[in-house]
Amino acid sequence: MTAHVVLLCGPSGSGKTRIATHSGLPVFRLDDFYKDGDDPSMPYSDELGIPDWDDVGTWHGDRAVEALVALCQDGRVEVPSYDIGRSRAVGTSVFDRGDAPAVVAEGVFAAEIIEGCRERGVLADAVVLRRAPWKNFVRRFARDLAERRKPPGTLWRRGHRLMREEPHLVAVATAKGCRPIDARGLEQLLSHLATSVGTR
């Protein structure tokens, strides 16, 4: 392997993408591996009346692992381009990590592929970002409205549900092998990896 992966998970709206992007490391979007909304295996939320996007059954974790392994080995890989508003992949793109020694793979379900990445020899670290749930609610709602991800009423109801579930989400990620980390700690970790010649 010529590069390794930092798996970064945390509640939606916690700032994972922003912090990872500012680190200077390539940021691999695990959300691009969601299933299409009309996939018959999609779990459904009766409460919201839409597929349950917070259920790991909506996601192709095995494909994400294969793509990360290829990226670490070859330096580039073709990945799907997922449109959340349309609930489907709308094409593909080539992800190129250049000469970066590490890649940040971020997404809500990152903890689900810790073992897969470890078994394939590409895991550098796995962390879960832990921040105040009410602040995550505000950031998430503003972002989702701006991007028109779903109707406002759906975003409001889903946001409140996610805020209630955040402590459990962080606990589950920790149990699966993630280290809880705050925003300052995450910035320091990624800054160190971005300037190092290798990863641990």
Q: pLDDT tens digit string along 78-114?
A: 999 999 888 899 999 999 999 898 999 999 899 999 9
Q: Which amino acid is at 171?
A: A
Residue 59: inside a domain, yes or no? yes
Q: What tens digit of pLDDT does each residue of 144-200 get?
A: 677 777 787 777 777 677 777 778 888 899 999 999 998 899 999 998 888 864 444
Residue 142: inside a domain, yes or no? yes
Q: Which residues pair with 89 in a beta bridge?
A: 82
Residue 92: inside a domain, yes or no? yes
Residue 28: inside a domain, yes or no? yes
Answer whether 42's CB lies under 8 Å from 119's CB: no
Range of the domain at 176: 4-195
Residue 200: inside a domain, yes or no? no
Total number of domains in the chain: 1
Q: What is the pTM of this model?
A: 0.80
Residue 177: inside a domain, yes or no? yes
Distance CA 46, CA 170 (A): 24
Which domain CATH number covers 15?
A: 3.40.50.300
